[in-house]
Structure 1
Amino acid sequence: MIKLVKYDDLTLFKKDVIYFLEKFEAENNLILGVLLSLSEIEDSPLLMATVGKHNDIGLVLLQTHPSQIILSKSVSFTSKEIHVIGEKLSNTIQEIPGFIGEKKLTTDLAMYISKLKGIQASVIMDQKIYKLEKVVKKANTNGMLRRIIEKDHRTIKEWVYLFCYETNQPISLDEADKRAKIMINKGNFVAWVVNGELVSMAYATRPTQNNITISYVYTPISERKKGYAADCVSAFTQSLLDRGYKTTSLYTDLNNPTSNKIYIQIGYEAIMDSIVILFK
């Protein structure tokens, strides 16, 4: 029997679902990392829910962003059970904007809801999640990793803007400016430096008990095809492992075979296909 349970209490939601999400910590890096970052005092998620199967949690749903609901890695559901989940969600949630989650479940669920509600479902991004336990390819010694600081802001805000544009998540220059300031202040923001010049960047976010996720990997066009992104990610990954994280993870766009190749060379292994589907 499939049961959908909605939550209003963030503390209770965390208590009920964190153990389930931590079973696959790297696969759930997005939903778990976001959930752990939420404050019971300051944050009110748009949706917190679980799908139960045989009286145990089988799927966790969390929405903090207007455009998508995050789906956790789930237990196995039959096609019929996925249809039941779709019906329950459609009857319970007034507006379902879209999903990000494990590819097969997310696609099957979105296609059924699309048919049920007569709305169009569009694939926005095809992704793969990678996890690393040990760095295989070390960074080149011709450069160095350093923390991004306030004096780098002018360059970094442009890189943040371009990264979002290139990954099909466009933001305004003002938003890029604000986002860069927040990321610099949080501290897990680094650059690869060659001859005193910043040539690539990476950011670590969503720390969980054993894992942290690398994102915002960006190299300006003029510095590409020189191995700088690989050096930056390799050195940054090693520094995060040295700080005590057992694993690091990252998302890649499957339409960018170059980035997928360099991460594999560094030592990242593919653990799950992910997809972003939005309704129109």
Structure 2
Amino acid sequence: MEPSRWQLIDDLAEFLDAAEDFLGSRPALHTVTLTVSEALRTRGPYAHGAEPPRFGVLRGPGGPVRATLLHTPPHPVQLTPLDPADAAALADRLAEAGHRVPGVWAERETAAAFATAWQRRTGASAEQTERQRLYRLAELIPPDRTPPGRARVAEAADRELLARWYVEFAADTGGRVHQDPAQWADSRLAHGGATLWETPDGTPVSLAGNLPESAGQIRVAPVYTPAALRGHGYAGAVTAEVSGRAAATGAEVLLFTDLANPVSNRLYQRLGYRPVADFATWTFTAPAD
């Protein structure tokens, strides 16, 4: 029987032609690959970074795709679930191709298996730098208390605010800003993907974003309230608004949380979100010459 094999791909259309059915078979587990692919298709190859993206598919015996790779430098490589043997084969394939791998983001066991394989293959050091949990909305449970004010979809006049909060959110969560903040704001405004909670006097106090529908799902991201405004229920109110609007379309509604933040994890579970799977980011440091 023909062994499984990894194929590296440079062209998005070729990748989607090969992997679309596989990715659509488990859209919740593959949500990030689906949404990033859609952004690259609609906004161009540099939507998530200054370097061209790279892709890969793992074909099992007989040819069906059973795993994928997506890399938009300088972000970590994104992988769908793999067993340790396939993770090791991928590490070998990428190293042989001279592919620079700054890190990996995947379902928890897959990320750990690839990190171990990459260390063994290259001598790089690896550190787990983030743990996330993917949630699916089962049934929306409105907050017990709704703060004064209302939700509204962000408009062009909010562009500067969205750009600033995008930068603040990245700093608050320990991430890096990999996209021009104004371009990020424009992309959200273009599809109504940013909703603000504002106080009765019209002051915006919290943000809940959503990505466009892809493969029957809508992912809520990001949710941000400036530190000085927290503790008033704004995040719960605006997240409930965005979640309910997304659910009303018939889409599956998803979101990720940082497992290091127990407050947000409790909030989303109170709103009716239920765990799907845990994910992890590992960051690699190349060995010194």
TM-score, normalised to structure 1, is 0.89
Counterpart pick for 1:229 among 223, 230, 235: 235
CA–CA distance in structure 1, aligned partners of residues 177 and 43 of structure 2: 28
Q: Secondary structure at the match of 1:39?
A: helix
Shift of 1:80: 3.6
CA–CA distance in structure 1, aligned partners of residues 20 and 142 of structure 2: 33
**In 2, are the aligned partners of 1:37 and 1:206 still within 8 Å (CA)?**
no
Match of 1:67 in 2: 75
Q: Which amino acid aligns with 2:79?
A: L
**In 2, are the aligned partners of 1:67 and 1:278 still within 8 Å (CA)?**
no
Q: Secondary structure at the match of 2:69?
A: strand
Shift of 1:189: 0.8
Is residue 143 of structure 2 the alignment partner of residue 143 of structure 1?
Answer: no
CA–CA distance in structure 2, aligned partners of residues 194 and 163 of structure 1: 20
Counterpart pick for 1:51 among 58, 63, 66: 58
> Structure 1 residues 41, 190: CA separation in 2 closer, same or farther (over 3 Å shift)?
closer
Any idea what the Cα deviations from partners look like across 1:123-167, whole Å, max 9, x if unmatched? Answer: 221111111142123572733210111222343332222101011
> Structure 1 residues 81, 159: CA separation in 2 closer, same or farther (over 3 Å shift)?
closer
Is residue 28 of structure 2 the alignment partner of residue 26 of structure 1?
Answer: yes
Q: Secondary structure at the match of 1:38?
A: helix
Gaps of 5+ in 1: none
Any idea what the Cα deviations from partners look like across 1:23-59, whole Å, max 9, x if unmatched? Answer: 2112211101111232399437531111123333221
Counterpart pick for 1:36 among 15, 35, 38: 38
Number of aligned pairs? 275
CA–CA distance in structure 1, aligned partners of residues 19 and 57 of structure 2: 8
Shift of 1:218: 0.4
CA–CA distance in structure 2, aligned partners of residues 219 and 141 of structure 1: 14
Is residue 213 of structure 2 the alignment partner of residue 207 of structure 1?
Answer: yes
**In 2, are the aligned partners of 1:73 and 1:102 still within 8 Å (CA)?**
yes
**In 2, are the aligned partners of 1:5 and 1:49 still within 8 Å (CA)?**
yes
After superposition, where does 1:11-22 map in structure 2 within 5 Å? 11-22=13-24
After superposition, where does 1:3-18 map in structure 2 within 5 Å? 3-18=5-20
CA–CA distance in structure 2, aligned partners of residues 277 and 220 of structure 1: 28
**In 2, are the aligned partners of 1:103 and 1:274 still within 8 Å (CA)?**
yes
Match of 1:90 in 2: 95
CA–CA distance in structure 2, aligned partners of residues 199 and 40 of structure 1: 30
Shift of 1:168: 1.4
CA–CA distance in structure 1, aligned partners of residues 72 and 176 of structure 2: 18
**In 2, are the aligned partners of 1:10 and 1:40 still within 8 Å (CA)?**
no
Q: Which amino acid aligns with 2:61?
A: H
**In 2, are the aligned partners of 1:11 and 1:40 still within 8 Å (CA)?**
no
TM-score, normalised to structure 2, is 0.86
Gaps of 5+ in 2: 47-51
> Structure 1 residues 200, 29: CA separation in 2 closer, same or farther (over 3 Å shift)?
same
Shift of 1:197: 2.1
**In 1, are the aligned partners of 2:10 and 2:53 still within 8 Å (CA)?**
no
Segment of structure 1 superposing worse, 89-98 or 111-120: 89-98
Shift of 1:210: 1.0
Shift of 1:171: 3.2
CA–CA distance in structure 1, aligned partners of residues 186 and 54 of structure 2: 28
Q: Which amino acid aligns with 2:136?
A: K
CA–CA distance in structure 1, aligned partners of residues 42 and 268 of structure 2: 36
Any idea what the Cα deviations from partners look like across 1:39-89, whole Å, max 9, x if unmatched? Answer: 399437531111123333221001123232111234xx2x34432332223
**In 2, are the aligned partners of 1:135 and 1:234 still within 8 Å (CA)?**
yes
CA–CA distance in structure 2, aligned partners of residues 70 and 271 of structure 1: 18
